[in-house]
Structure 1
């Protein structure tokens, strides 16, 4: 079970660089080493450099530098990793890793790449991100995204017991139902988050 931090946090940005030997050694056990046909994948390290490069620059896959291989090949490998559960496993590993662990050095790269996986992995992935608290992996500001943890938020909302007995002041009832309405709205998130907001999100 991953360690849950005391409060959610944002990971400081780090400019993209190629993986160092220690970073690559820490990442390698989590990856898919063979193609669907069973052949060893050549230039695996270059593929991950390309994935992290695109994730950190927010560029489309077609802008993968030619030195790292064909953009379609890189994008397909990213999707394979995503369907294989790489990003949830890495997030859980980060939650358990100590401050000196080599994965910590590429935490920002991993979280930025994980943002691209949320459309494939859906709400359960957002739930994992919120529970672990690595907010940089979220694809936008938390208050604009669906909140699968609504039940925990509701548990912290003081319920006016007198409301049940019909003795609560109308103003108190109105305020409570207003809070409940906001929570239900927040649970669904925004139908569309403006691109400018997503790009500005750390």
Structure 2
């Protein structure tokens, strides 16, 4: 005769708020936004004069190919052409037969110049914080239409540089709801903001269990904590083929 499973012990009032999931928008954060928060993909085209005019002040402010009046910065013969080459390179994709994911820098057509020179410029500007600055700029509701039109290209620049820009790039992309800037589905990447949400709950549970040694949390609470911990920690390995379109 099968053993009857003991019912879960009652959950003390106030230990977990009844609206915990809804109040923090966890379903929206973990499932809805990553699916519907992707920027539509579009084909590469040279920047228009209006797009370049919207980007140039940001480059000048950080000394990326341009220098603002009275400020030091690198000066480049054709910063607009170099930026176009960078956008072209980061938007290149490998075919499914090649394993998917982004294409290497060497796939950049020769008409855009030496691919290693373009790659070095992208890395140098990443270290200066240009791509994260542009990510915030295109997400600004008050940004001009010409700047917002470059959102997909800027997202491609950001997701190419996770190793350089680190966790702050992941956090920023999520907060701006620009999930196309992430190098993999959002649920598979570390989420410090989610950790900040569920850590106080874990502390309350631990303190209550210490004060009441005979009480054990219901099984669904353990499942909730396990799932939140898994989402907050992310996966240890991220394949390039997981990049969004």
Task: Tell me how far 1:146 sits from its aligned partner.
Answer: 0.8
RMSD across aligned positions (CA): 3.0
Residue 48 in 1 paired to residue 83 in 2? yes
Counterpart of 1:77 in structure 2 is 121
**Match for 1:178 among 223, 227, 230?**
223
Counterpart of 2:162 in structure 1 is 118
Task: Tell me how far 1:92 sits from its aligned partner.
Answer: 1.3
What pairs with 1:1-202 in structure 2 (closer than 5 Å)? 8=33, 9-31=37-59, 32-33=64-65, 40-57=75-92, 58-98=102-142, 100-154=144-198, 164=209, 173-198=218-243, 201-202=244-245
Which consecutive residues of structure 2, in runs of 5 or more, have no partner in the other structure? 1-27, 93-101
Deviations 1:71-102 (A, max 9, x none): 11111100111000011111111221437521
Structure index of larger Rg = 2
Q: How many residues align?
A: 193
Query: Equivalents in 2 of 1:64, 1:93: separation in Å?
Result: 27
Query: Equivalents in 1 of 2:184, 2:75: separation in Å?
Result: 36
Which consecutive residues of structure 1, in runs of 5 or more, have no partner in the other structure? 1-5
Partner-residue secondary structure (3-state), 2:132: helix
Query: Equivalents in 1 of 2:147, 2:176: separation in Å?
Result: 16
Partner-residue secondary structure (3-state), 1:40: coil
The question of whether the paired residues in 1 share the 8 Å contact of 2:183 and 2:240 is answered with: no
Q: 1:17 to 1:181 in 2, by over 3 A?
A: same
Query: Equivalents in 2 of 1:19, 1:105: separation in Å?
Result: 10
Q: 1:99 to 1:10 in 2, by over 3 A?
A: farther
Task: Tell me how far 1:167 sits from its aligned partner.
Answer: 10
The question of whether the paired residues in 1 share the 8 Å contact of 2:183 and 2:242 is answered with: no
